[in-house]
Amino acid sequence: MKIVNIESFPIRVSNQSDKGRKIDTKNINTAMLANNELSEKADSYEAENKSDTKRHLEVKSMDSYETIIKDMGEYYIDDGSNTSIYSKSHETTVVKIETDTGIIGWGEAQSPVSPNTSATIIKDIVTPLTIGKNIFDVEAIWHKNYTAKRERGHYTGFYIDAICGVDIAIWDAIGKALNMSTAQAMGGIHRNKVSLYNGIGGTIPEEVADQAEWSVSKGYKYLKMHLKEDIDNTIEIVTKVRERVGESIGLMLDVHMGFDTFNAIKLGKELEKINLLWLESPSDPIDIPGLCEISRSLDLPIANGEWTRTKYEMREIFEKRAYDISMPDIARTGLTGGKQIATIAELYNIPISPHVGGGGIVSIAATLQYSLGIPNFLIMEHSE
């Protein structure tokens, strides 16, 4: 089956809570289903999928256009220990491919702040590289798309996000062509259930503890705190949450690369007294020697990797044991890249905890399939 059509939809969903960081999957799902073409294509899939799956499935064509849903029109700059730009909306790029036999595949490229960037890359670069290709050559497609811009320095960032959104869509089409789940198509299902943790955050100890208590009431046994505070305030919040939920709930902490090596170790020593499952993104992610020093200095496991996109970035990290838990984000790695990272991690006995920080409903579904289909899965991120 050849790919005959590819479309991408930059999506922006209003999200005023938690300064735009909280994922509202209900909103993104409703927004997508509200699009007439999306819902009609989803409803008509059974009618379209009557062709012989043994046929050559070819990519037919690709298109890209922008869809903005309740655009808030504002960004904010976080000038804390490291500068980050966030939007008050939830933004992502949804990708649709169509084969010559009428099978539709859906993907998503995580595109915070500028979803039209990924959509433009898909339209102008990835489309001519992918049209006419057999969907069962999915890894070859990923590799060709990756190498096409590597000599110009585009081996991470928006370009990789774009090709990975298409990769997810191709895998979705493959599963439909074979009448099986994506996890089965990628090599098999390793488990029937996936453990999740809920994300919470804030600056006031009592309010973060309230979120934790609410999450536990909904059945979550694992919680991750998103904090961008100094050491003293961080410890105060984490201590309050631990007191509120007790020792039976697993707690993790993401400090969003907020410390230098010395202070990350100092924070980690204090956190070891509170019994956390991991400390996430403690410092500059490209400072591999610094991350190695943090990992060696602490008994507390270090989790990291949401910023990485390919297996090529992971070799040195795994060889040097820069961190203990790898966190690929499938909307940045694609399913092909994510599977490659998991395979390499398995060689070093490193577990995988997929990151789903800014993903919409399509990437969440893809990450669920990924979590079912790798042997070294630990736990999956989620946010209510």
- What does the pLDDT look like over 346-367, one tens digit per residue? 999 999 999 997 778 899 999 9
* Segment (H or E) for 262: helix 261-271
pLDDT band at 15 (very low <50, low <70, confident <90, very high): low
Question: What pLDDT shows up at residue 51?
Answer: 45
Task: Say whether pLDDT at 327 is over 90.
Answer: yes
3-state helix, strand, coil in the chain (%, to 5): 45, 20, 35
130 has a pLDDT exceeding 70: yes
Among 318, 286, 291, 307, smallest CA distance to 355 is for: 307
Instruction: Give the pLDDT confidence of 102-118 residue by residue, as tens digits.
Output: 999 999 998 888 888 99
Q: Is the pLDDT of residue 17 over 60?
A: no
Q: What are the φ/ψ torsions at residue 170 (nearest 5 degrees)?
A: -65, -45
CA angle 373–377–381, rounded 5-degree value: 105
> Rounded distance, CA 181 to CA 85, Å?
36
Q: Give the H/E segment covering residue 158.
A: helix 158-178
Reported as a single tens digit per residue, the pLDDT across 28-83 is 332 333 334 444 443 443 344 444 444 557 877 655 444 444 455 567 677 666 67
330, 363 Cβ separation under 8 angstroms: yes
- CA-to-CA separations, 29 to 24, 46, 210, 359, in angstroms, rounded: 9, 20, 27, 11
* CA angle 235–241–242, rounded 5-degree value: 85
Architecture of domain 2-179: 2-Layer Sandwich (3.30)
For domain 196-382, the CATH class is alpha beta
Look at residue 285 and tell me whether its pLDDT is greater than 80. yes
User: Residue 235 and residue 278: Cα distance in Å, rounded?
Assistant: 14
Q: What pLDDT is attached to residue 54?
A: 43
Quick one: CA dihedral 172, 173, 176, 177, positive or negative? negative
Consecutive H or E run containing 159: helix 158-178
Which distant-in-sequence residues (6+ apart) come within 8 Å of 187 by Cβ?
339, 373
pTM metric for this prediction: 0.87
Q: What is the pLDDT of residues 224-247, one digit of tens each?
A: 999 999 999 999 999 999 999 999
Residue extents of the structural domains in the chain: 2-179, 196-382
Q: What is the overall mean pLDDT for the chain? A: 87
- pLDDT for 189-210, tens place per residue? 999 999 999 999 999 999 999 9
**pLDDT at res. 375:** 98
Neighbours of 107 (CB within 10 A): 29
Average pLDDT over residues 148-156: 92
Give me the mean pLDDT over the 219-225 stretch. 98
Q: What is the pLDDT of residue 53?
A: 44
Structure tokens at 215: 């999450």
Whether residue 25 is predicted with pLDDT greater than 80 in this model: the reply is: no
